[in-house]
Amino acid sequence: MYEQRLKLLYSLLDQDHFDGAAFIPGATFTYLTGLHYHLDERPKVLLLGKGRRPVLILPEFEAGKLKENTLNIKSFTYGENPDQWPQVFQQACESTGLADKKYAIEPLQLRVRELRLLEEASPSTRFISASAQLDTMRMQKDDGEIAKMRKAAGIAQDAFLAMLANIRVGMTEKEVASELVAQLLKHGSDPNFPFLPIIASGPNAANPHANPGERRLTSGDLVVVDWGARYEGYCSDITRTLAVGEIAPELEMAAKIVAEANKAGKVAAKSGAVASAVDDAARHVIDEADYGQYFTHRTGHGLGMEVHEPPYMTGQNTMELKTGMTFTVEPGIYVPGKFGIRIEDNVVVREEGGECLTSLPRDLFRI
Protein backbone atom coordinates (compact mmCIF):
# COMPACT_ATOMS: atom_id res chain seq x y z
CA MET A 1 0.00 0.00 0.00
CA TYR A 2 2.73 2.50 0.93
CA GLU A 3 4.65 1.74 -2.27
CA GLN A 4 1.46 2.64 -4.17
CA ARG A 5 1.11 5.88 -2.27
CA LEU A 6 4.71 6.83 -3.04
CA LYS A 7 4.02 6.18 -6.73
CA LEU A 8 1.00 8.48 -6.51
CA LEU A 9 3.15 11.14 -4.83
CA TYR A 10 5.81 11.00 -7.55
CA SER A 11 3.22 11.15 -10.33
CA LEU A 12 1.65 14.26 -8.74
CA LEU A 13 5.08 15.85 -8.33
CA ASP A 14 5.97 14.99 -11.95
CA GLN A 15 3.24 17.27 -13.24
CA ASP A 16 5.20 20.26 -12.02
CA HIS A 17 8.70 18.86 -12.50
CA PHE A 18 9.50 18.37 -8.84
CA ASP A 19 12.34 15.91 -8.16
CA GLY A 20 11.07 14.96 -4.75
CA ALA A 21 9.55 16.18 -1.51
CA ALA A 22 10.56 16.77 2.12
CA PHE A 23 8.16 16.07 4.99
CA ILE A 24 8.24 16.33 8.77
CA PRO A 25 6.01 14.12 10.98
CA GLY A 26 2.33 14.78 10.43
CA ALA A 27 -0.60 13.45 8.45
CA THR A 28 1.12 13.24 5.05
CA PHE A 29 4.27 11.69 6.55
CA THR A 30 2.16 8.94 8.16
CA TYR A 31 -0.03 8.53 5.06
CA LEU A 32 3.03 7.88 2.91
CA THR A 33 5.02 5.65 5.27
CA GLY A 34 2.72 4.26 7.97
CA LEU A 35 5.21 5.64 10.50
CA HIS A 36 4.09 7.63 13.54
CA TYR A 37 6.58 10.05 15.00
CA HIS A 38 5.85 12.64 17.63
CA LEU A 39 6.80 16.13 16.54
CA ASP A 40 9.00 17.76 19.15
CA GLU A 41 11.87 20.24 19.03
CA ARG A 42 14.25 17.70 17.49
CA PRO A 43 14.27 17.95 13.69
CA LYS A 44 12.94 14.90 11.83
CA VAL A 45 12.79 15.03 8.05
CA LEU A 46 11.77 12.48 5.45
CA LEU A 47 13.36 13.03 2.03
CA LEU A 48 11.58 11.34 -0.84
CA GLY A 49 13.47 11.65 -4.12
CA LYS A 50 12.13 10.14 -7.31
CA GLY A 51 14.12 6.96 -8.10
CA ARG A 52 15.96 7.21 -4.77
CA ARG A 53 15.83 5.22 -1.57
CA PRO A 54 13.76 7.17 1.00
CA VAL A 55 15.88 8.94 3.61
CA LEU A 56 14.87 9.81 7.16
CA ILE A 57 16.81 12.13 9.47
CA LEU A 58 15.89 11.46 13.11
CA PRO A 59 17.19 11.01 16.67
CA GLU A 60 19.11 7.79 17.26
CA PHE A 61 16.76 6.64 20.03
CA GLU A 62 13.77 6.72 17.66
CA ALA A 63 15.34 4.71 14.84
CA GLY A 64 14.02 1.39 16.20
CA LYS A 65 10.60 1.96 14.65
CA LEU A 66 12.11 1.68 11.19
CA LYS A 67 12.80 -2.04 11.64
CA GLU A 68 9.20 -3.05 10.88
CA ASN A 69 8.80 -0.62 7.99
CA THR A 70 8.72 -2.11 4.48
CA LEU A 71 9.84 0.95 2.50
CA ASN A 72 13.58 0.29 2.92
CA ILE A 73 14.16 3.71 4.44
CA LYS A 74 17.79 4.74 5.02
CA SER A 75 18.19 6.54 8.33
CA PHE A 76 20.60 9.29 9.33
CA THR A 77 20.62 9.68 13.10
CA TYR A 78 22.00 12.04 15.70
CA GLY A 79 22.39 11.98 19.49
CA GLU A 80 21.18 14.54 22.02
CA ASN A 81 23.72 17.20 21.02
CA PRO A 82 22.12 19.68 18.57
CA ASP A 83 25.59 20.56 17.25
CA GLN A 84 25.41 17.27 15.32
CA TRP A 85 22.38 18.35 13.29
CA PRO A 86 24.10 20.28 10.46
CA GLN A 87 26.52 17.46 9.69
CA VAL A 88 23.82 14.78 9.73
CA PHE A 89 21.63 16.89 7.45
CA GLN A 90 24.55 17.34 5.09
CA GLN A 91 25.24 13.59 4.92
CA ALA A 92 21.56 12.83 4.33
CA CYS A 93 21.22 15.45 1.58
CA GLU A 94 24.36 14.21 -0.18
CA SER A 95 23.26 10.59 0.08
CA THR A 96 19.97 11.32 -1.69
CA GLY A 97 21.50 13.62 -4.31
CA LEU A 98 19.64 16.74 -3.32
CA ALA A 99 22.02 19.22 -4.98
CA ASP A 100 20.43 21.40 -7.72
CA LYS A 101 17.06 19.67 -7.33
CA LYS A 102 13.55 21.07 -6.93
CA TYR A 103 11.83 19.70 -3.82
CA ALA A 104 8.23 20.13 -2.72
CA ILE A 105 7.35 21.11 0.85
CA GLU A 106 4.07 21.44 2.75
CA PRO A 107 3.61 25.09 3.72
CA LEU A 108 1.35 24.30 6.68
CA GLN A 109 3.69 21.69 8.12
CA LEU A 110 7.41 22.16 7.53
CA ARG A 111 8.91 24.38 10.21
CA VAL A 112 11.54 27.08 9.85
CA ARG A 113 13.89 24.89 11.92
CA GLU A 114 13.91 22.04 9.37
CA LEU A 115 13.79 24.33 6.35
CA ARG A 116 16.90 26.24 7.51
CA LEU A 117 18.81 23.02 8.22
CA LEU A 118 17.93 21.72 4.75
CA GLU A 119 18.84 24.99 3.05
CA GLU A 120 22.18 25.17 4.86
CA ALA A 121 22.99 21.53 4.11
CA SER A 122 22.11 21.83 0.44
CA PRO A 123 22.17 25.49 -0.71
CA SER A 124 21.61 24.66 -4.38
CA THR A 125 18.31 22.86 -3.75
CA ARG A 126 15.08 24.78 -4.29
CA PHE A 127 12.46 24.00 -1.63
CA ILE A 128 9.12 25.14 -2.99
CA SER A 129 5.72 25.24 -1.34
CA ALA A 130 3.55 22.72 -3.16
CA SER A 131 0.11 22.63 -1.59
CA ALA A 132 -1.63 22.49 -4.98
CA GLN A 133 0.17 19.22 -5.83
CA LEU A 134 0.23 17.67 -2.36
CA ASP A 135 -3.30 18.63 -1.30
CA THR A 136 -4.94 16.38 -3.86
CA MET A 137 -3.05 13.31 -2.63
CA ARG A 138 -5.09 12.48 0.48
CA MET A 139 -8.46 13.79 -0.70
CA GLN A 140 -10.03 10.64 -2.16
CA LYS A 141 -10.18 8.05 0.59
CA ASP A 142 -10.00 4.32 -0.06
CA ASP A 143 -12.37 1.82 1.56
CA GLY A 144 -10.00 1.16 4.46
CA GLU A 145 -9.79 4.85 5.28
CA ILE A 146 -13.56 5.30 5.04
CA ALA A 147 -14.08 2.34 7.39
CA LYS A 148 -11.87 4.09 9.97
CA MET A 149 -13.80 7.34 9.55
CA ARG A 150 -17.09 5.49 9.97
CA LYS A 151 -15.76 4.00 13.20
CA ALA A 152 -14.59 7.45 14.40
CA ALA A 153 -18.12 8.76 13.75
CA GLY A 154 -19.69 5.80 15.58
CA ILE A 155 -17.47 6.30 18.64
CA ALA A 156 -18.33 10.00 18.75
CA GLN A 157 -22.06 9.34 18.45
CA ASP A 158 -22.08 6.69 21.18
CA ALA A 159 -20.10 9.00 23.45
CA PHE A 160 -22.59 11.83 22.83
CA LEU A 161 -25.58 9.66 23.74
CA ALA A 162 -23.84 8.46 26.92
CA MET A 163 -23.05 12.08 27.81
CA LEU A 164 -26.69 13.13 27.29
CA ALA A 165 -27.79 10.60 29.91
CA ASN A 166 -25.45 12.20 32.46
CA ILE A 167 -26.01 15.95 32.01
CA ARG A 168 -28.62 18.23 33.59
CA VAL A 169 -29.84 21.80 33.58
CA GLY A 170 -27.54 23.93 35.80
CA MET A 171 -24.27 22.23 34.82
CA THR A 172 -21.56 24.50 33.44
CA GLU A 173 -20.34 24.22 29.85
CA LYS A 174 -17.02 22.91 31.18
CA GLU A 175 -18.76 20.19 33.22
CA VAL A 176 -20.63 19.07 30.10
CA ALA A 177 -17.37 19.13 28.09
CA SER A 178 -15.56 17.02 30.68
CA GLU A 179 -18.36 14.45 30.61
CA LEU A 180 -18.14 14.26 26.81
CA VAL A 181 -14.34 13.94 26.89
CA ALA A 182 -14.60 11.07 29.40
CA GLN A 183 -17.18 9.29 27.24
CA LEU A 184 -15.07 9.69 24.09
CA LEU A 185 -12.20 7.88 25.80
CA LYS A 186 -14.49 5.21 27.28
CA HIS A 187 -16.00 4.54 23.86
CA GLY A 188 -12.63 4.01 22.21
CA SER A 189 -11.42 7.30 20.75
CA ASP A 190 -7.67 7.66 20.34
CA PRO A 191 -6.60 10.08 23.10
CA ASN A 192 -5.43 12.74 20.64
CA PHE A 193 -8.91 14.04 19.86
CA PRO A 194 -9.33 15.99 16.61
CA PHE A 195 -10.14 18.96 18.89
CA LEU A 196 -11.60 19.48 22.37
CA PRO A 197 -15.41 19.64 22.39
CA ILE A 198 -17.17 22.96 21.95
CA ILE A 199 -20.06 23.38 24.41
CA ALA A 200 -21.63 26.80 23.80
CA SER A 201 -24.87 27.71 25.56
CA GLY A 202 -27.36 30.55 25.15
CA PRO A 203 -25.73 33.69 23.72
CA ASN A 204 -22.31 31.98 23.77
CA ALA A 205 -23.52 29.73 20.95
CA ALA A 206 -23.59 32.75 18.62
CA ASN A 207 -19.78 32.35 18.45
CA PRO A 208 -19.15 29.37 16.11
CA HIS A 209 -15.78 28.52 17.75
CA ALA A 210 -16.56 29.25 21.41
CA ASN A 211 -14.57 27.55 24.19
CA PRO A 212 -16.54 25.89 27.02
CA GLY A 213 -16.71 28.25 30.01
CA GLU A 214 -18.42 28.67 33.37
CA ARG A 215 -21.88 29.53 32.03
CA ARG A 216 -24.57 27.18 33.33
CA LEU A 217 -27.13 25.47 31.09
CA THR A 218 -30.32 27.44 31.60
CA SER A 219 -33.91 26.77 30.62
CA GLY A 220 -34.64 28.43 27.27
CA ASP A 221 -31.08 27.89 25.91
CA LEU A 222 -29.92 26.34 22.72
CA VAL A 223 -26.58 24.60 23.31
CA VAL A 224 -24.21 23.91 20.42
CA VAL A 225 -22.20 20.72 20.99
CA ASP A 226 -19.37 20.21 18.46
CA TRP A 227 -17.10 17.25 19.07
CA GLY A 228 -15.17 14.49 17.36
CA ALA A 229 -13.33 11.23 17.93
CA ARG A 230 -10.19 9.87 16.32
CA TYR A 231 -9.85 6.22 15.38
CA GLU A 232 -6.60 4.76 14.05
CA GLY A 233 -5.61 8.27 12.99
CA TYR A 234 -8.89 9.26 11.26
CA CYS A 235 -11.25 11.96 12.53
CA SER A 236 -14.93 12.59 12.94
CA ASP A 237 -16.33 16.09 13.51
CA ILE A 238 -20.01 16.33 14.45
CA THR A 239 -22.31 19.05 15.76
CA ARG A 240 -25.74 18.72 17.31
CA THR A 241 -27.76 21.33 19.17
CA LEU A 242 -29.54 20.81 22.48
CA ALA A 243 -32.67 22.60 23.65
CA VAL A 244 -32.85 23.18 27.40
CA GLY A 245 -36.45 23.14 28.69
CA GLU A 246 -38.94 25.34 26.84
CA ILE A 247 -37.38 27.40 24.04
CA ALA A 248 -38.78 30.38 22.09
CA PRO A 249 -40.67 29.65 18.84
CA GLU A 250 -38.02 31.58 16.86
CA LEU A 251 -35.39 29.08 18.05
CA GLU A 252 -37.55 26.10 17.07
CA MET A 253 -37.96 27.66 13.63
CA ALA A 254 -34.22 28.33 13.23
CA ALA A 255 -33.49 24.70 14.13
CA LYS A 256 -35.78 23.49 11.35
CA ILE A 257 -34.15 25.81 8.81
CA VAL A 258 -30.65 24.62 9.69
CA ALA A 259 -31.70 20.96 9.52
CA GLU A 260 -33.15 21.66 6.07
CA ALA A 261 -29.94 23.40 4.96
CA ASN A 262 -27.84 20.49 6.25
CA LYS A 263 -29.95 18.07 4.20
CA ALA A 264 -29.70 20.20 1.05
CA GLY A 265 -25.89 20.38 1.38
CA LYS A 266 -25.61 16.60 1.69
CA VAL A 267 -27.82 15.95 -1.33
CA ALA A 268 -25.58 18.26 -3.40
CA ALA A 269 -22.44 16.24 -2.55
CA LYS A 270 -22.52 14.18 -5.77
CA SER A 271 -19.47 13.18 -7.71
CA GLY A 272 -19.08 15.53 -10.68
CA ALA A 273 -20.60 18.50 -8.84
CA VAL A 274 -18.36 21.36 -7.76
CA ALA A 275 -17.59 22.08 -4.11
CA SER A 276 -19.36 25.44 -4.30
CA ALA A 277 -22.61 23.64 -5.17
CA VAL A 278 -22.65 22.16 -1.65
CA ASP A 279 -22.19 25.61 -0.12
CA ASP A 280 -24.78 27.12 -2.47
CA ALA A 281 -27.39 24.45 -1.68
CA ALA A 282 -27.10 24.84 2.09
CA ARG A 283 -26.83 28.63 1.96
CA HIS A 284 -29.84 28.96 -0.34
CA VAL A 285 -32.13 27.42 2.30
CA ILE A 286 -30.91 29.83 4.99
CA ASP A 287 -31.04 32.83 2.63
CA GLU A 288 -34.61 32.01 1.66
CA ALA A 289 -35.58 32.05 5.34
CA ASP A 290 -34.02 35.54 5.68
CA TYR A 291 -31.23 34.35 8.00
CA GLY A 292 -28.51 34.63 5.34
CA GLN A 293 -26.58 37.33 7.21
CA TYR A 294 -26.37 35.05 10.25
CA PHE A 295 -24.74 32.11 8.43
CA THR A 296 -21.25 33.53 8.74
CA HIS A 297 -18.92 30.67 7.73
CA ARG A 298 -18.35 28.20 4.89
CA THR A 299 -20.61 25.14 4.72
CA GLY A 300 -17.88 22.59 5.38
CA HIS A 301 -14.29 21.38 5.24
CA GLY A 302 -12.49 18.23 4.20
CA LEU A 303 -12.03 15.63 6.93
CA GLY A 304 -9.67 12.68 7.21
CA MET A 305 -6.34 12.34 8.99
CA GLU A 306 -6.72 16.04 9.75
CA VAL A 307 -9.85 17.69 11.04
CA HIS A 308 -9.55 20.55 8.54
CA GLU A 309 -8.11 19.56 5.18
CA PRO A 310 -9.08 20.07 1.55
CA PRO A 311 -11.56 20.19 -0.09
CA TYR A 312 -13.28 23.23 1.42
CA MET A 313 -17.00 23.81 0.81
CA THR A 314 -16.95 27.52 0.04
CA GLY A 315 -18.91 29.58 -2.46
CA GLN A 316 -15.71 30.14 -4.48
CA ASN A 317 -14.31 26.60 -4.68
CA THR A 318 -14.75 25.30 -8.23
CA MET A 319 -13.01 21.98 -7.51
CA GLU A 320 -14.89 18.99 -8.92
CA LEU A 321 -16.04 16.54 -6.25
CA LYS A 322 -14.89 12.96 -6.78
CA THR A 323 -16.04 9.68 -5.30
CA GLY A 324 -14.35 9.00 -1.97
CA MET A 325 -13.78 12.62 -0.99
CA THR A 326 -14.86 13.19 2.62
CA PHE A 327 -15.96 16.42 4.26
CA THR A 328 -18.33 18.03 6.71
CA VAL A 329 -21.63 19.72 5.94
CA GLU A 330 -22.26 22.13 8.81
CA PRO A 331 -24.57 25.05 8.19
CA GLY A 332 -25.52 27.25 11.13
CA ILE A 333 -27.38 30.37 12.20
CA TYR A 334 -25.70 32.68 14.72
CA VAL A 335 -27.60 35.70 16.03
CA PRO A 336 -25.21 37.80 18.15
CA GLY A 337 -26.23 38.24 21.76
CA LYS A 338 -29.13 35.78 21.36
CA PHE A 339 -28.53 32.25 20.15
CA GLY A 340 -26.65 29.94 17.82
CA ILE A 341 -27.39 26.64 16.16
CA ARG A 342 -25.35 24.32 13.94
CA ILE A 343 -25.89 20.81 12.59
CA GLU A 344 -22.78 19.06 11.26
CA ASP A 345 -22.56 15.72 9.50
CA ASN A 346 -19.67 13.85 7.88
CA VAL A 347 -20.16 12.90 4.26
CA VAL A 348 -18.49 10.74 1.61
CA VAL A 349 -18.99 11.73 -2.03
CA ARG A 350 -20.75 9.02 -4.02
CA GLU A 351 -22.15 8.89 -7.56
CA GLU A 352 -25.69 9.51 -6.38
CA GLY A 353 -25.00 12.10 -3.65
CA GLY A 354 -23.37 12.33 -0.25
CA GLU A 355 -23.28 9.19 1.88
CA CYS A 356 -23.53 10.14 5.52
CA LEU A 357 -21.12 8.59 8.04
CA THR A 358 -23.13 10.15 10.87
CA SER A 359 -26.62 8.99 11.77
CA LEU A 360 -27.76 10.84 14.93
CA PRO A 361 -31.10 12.61 14.41
CA ARG A 362 -30.75 16.22 13.23
CA ASP A 363 -33.59 17.50 15.42
CA LEU A 364 -32.89 19.35 18.63
CA PHE A 365 -32.01 17.05 21.54
CA ARG A 366 -34.20 17.98 24.53
CA ILE A 367 -32.84 18.11 28.03
Binding stretches for Co ion (CB under 5 A): 226, 237, 328, 344
Q: How far is the CB of 134 from Co ion (least distance, A)?
A: 22
- 3-state SS of the chain? CHHHHHHHHHHHHHCCCCCEEEECCCHHHHHHHCCCCCCCCCCCEEEEECCCCCEEEEEHHHHHHHHHCCCCCEEEEECCCHHHHHHHHHHHHHHCCCCCCEEEECCCCCCHHHHHHHHHHCCCCEEEECHHHHHCCCCECCHHHHHHHHHHHHHHHHHHHHHHHHCCCCCEHHHHHHHHHHHHHHCCCCCCCCCCCEEEEHHHHHCCCCCCCCCECCCCCEEEEEECCEECCEECCEEEEEECCCCCHHHHHHHHHHHHHHHHHHHCCECCCEHHHHHHHHHHHHHHCCCHHHCCCCCEEECCCCCCEEEEECCCCCCECCCCEEEEECCEEEECCCEEEECEEEEEEECCEEEECCCCCCCCEEC
Q: How far is the CB of 150 from Co ion (least distance, A)?
A: 17
Comparison of 179 and 309: residue with beta carbon closer to Co ion? 309
Comparison of 75 and 211: residue with beta carbon closer to Co ion? 211
Q: How far is the CB of 259 from Co ion (least distance, A)?
A: 16
Q: How far is the CB of 164 from Co ion (least distance, A)?
A: 18
Q: How far is the CB of 246 from Co ion (least distance, A)?
A: 27
Q: How far is the CB of 211 from Co ion (least distance, A)?
A: 14
Comparison of 19 and 237: residue with beta carbon closer to Co ion? 237
Comparison of 101 and 141: residue with beta carbon closer to Co ion? 141
Q: How far is the CB of 301 from Co ion (least distance, A)?
A: 6
Comparison of 19 and 309: residue with beta carbon closer to Co ion? 309
Comparison of 54 and 208: residue with beta carbon closer to Co ion? 208
Comparison of 173 and 344: residue with beta carbon closer to Co ion? 344
